[in-house]
Structure 1
Amino acid sequence: MTTQSTSSTPTDAVTTFTAAFAGLVATGDTGPVEQLLAPGFRHHRPDATSSTKDQWLSAVRGSLERIAGMEVEVKHVLASGDHVVMHRRRRLPGGPEITVVDICRFEDELIAEVWEIIEPAAEAAAHLSWWDA
C-alpha cells in the first residue's frame, strides 16, 4: 500500500478511513464508517446520481448479506490536501473481480463527499478503446 500525506490530511485520517472500511467488509458494522461521514455527506456515482448519508448507509446495510465474505485488496491509498483516494480490488466468493476507486473529500476531519468508480476487471481491456463502441 502506498500512502502520501500532507499536513491538511493527517495520516490518522487515512488510517481511520482505511480501517473503518475494512471493518465494514469484515464485520458488517456500519458504525465506524457512519462516524466518519459529515452530516451533509454525498455519495456520487459515474452515472451522475448522488445519494445522501442516510440513503447511502441504507443501501450499504441492504447489501451486507450479499457481500458477506468479500475479499478486498487495497492497492493504493493516496492523500493530498483534503482528499483521500483509495484504489482497491474486490472479489465475492466464487464471483467476478471488480476494481474500485473512491475519491473522498474531507471537511473538518469528516468525509463530506465520495466519488466511486467501479469497473469489472474482466472488462478492463474492452474499455481501453471505449471510443470505438
Structure 2
Amino acid sequence: MLQDDAKREANKRTVLAFYEAGLRQKDYATASKLLGDRYVQHNPLIADGHAGFEAFLAFLKEKFPNLRADVKHVFAEGDFVIAHVHGVREPGQRGSAIVDIFKLEDGKIVEHWDVMQPIPEESANPNGMF
C-alpha cells in the first residue's frame, strides 16, 4: 500500500512538473524529459508523439505567450493522474475549466486526454467552476 501511495505521489509530481515546464514556461526541452518514448495524444488538435507536443508548445509560445495553466486540484489512481485546471490564454480573460487526464508508465507521461469548458460570464449558481 505504501508503495502504491509513493507511486501516485511521484506521478502527481511528474504531471505538475510537466505543467510548469510545458504550459507555464513553454520549455519543450525540459517538458519532453517527462514524456515516455511514446506519447499518445487524444486531443484532436494536437499530433501524437514528441514532435506533436513540440509543435503545440511552439504554437502556444507564438500565439499565447502569456497563457496560464493553474492546477486547482490533482488526483492520482494507479497509472492515471487527473488535473482540474484553470486555463487562461490572455490576462483578463475568464478562461476555461479544463480536466486533463494523463497515463504514466515507468514514471513518464505516455498518454493524454482533455476536456475543456469556457467559463461563462454568468452562472445559475454562486459556486464557481473550481
Normalised by the size of structure 1, how large is the TM-score? 0.75
Superposed CA offset, 1:62-86 (max 9, x none): 2213222223321110001000001
**Total equivalences in the alignment:** 120
Letter in 1 for 2:55: S
Alignment partner of 1:57 is 2:60 = no
Structure 1 residues 37 and 55: alpha-carbon distance in aligned structure 2, compared to 1, 3 A threshold: same
Q: TM-score, normalised by structure 2?
A: 0.76
Residue number in structure 2 paired with 1:103: 101
Q: In the alignment, what sits opposite 1:31?
A: 29
Q: Return 5+ residue gaps in structure 2 as ranges.
A: 125-130
Gaps of 5+ in 1: 127-133
Superposition CA RMSD, Å: 2.7
SS at match of 1:51: coil
Question: In 2 relative to 1, CA 123–105 (structure 1 residues): closer, same or farther, beyond 3 Å?
Answer: farther
**Deviation at residue 52 of structure 1 after TM alignment:** 1.1
CA contact (8 A) 2:11 2:104 kept: no
Percent identity reads: 24
Structure 2 CA distance for aligned equivalents of residues 113 and 100 of structure 1: 16
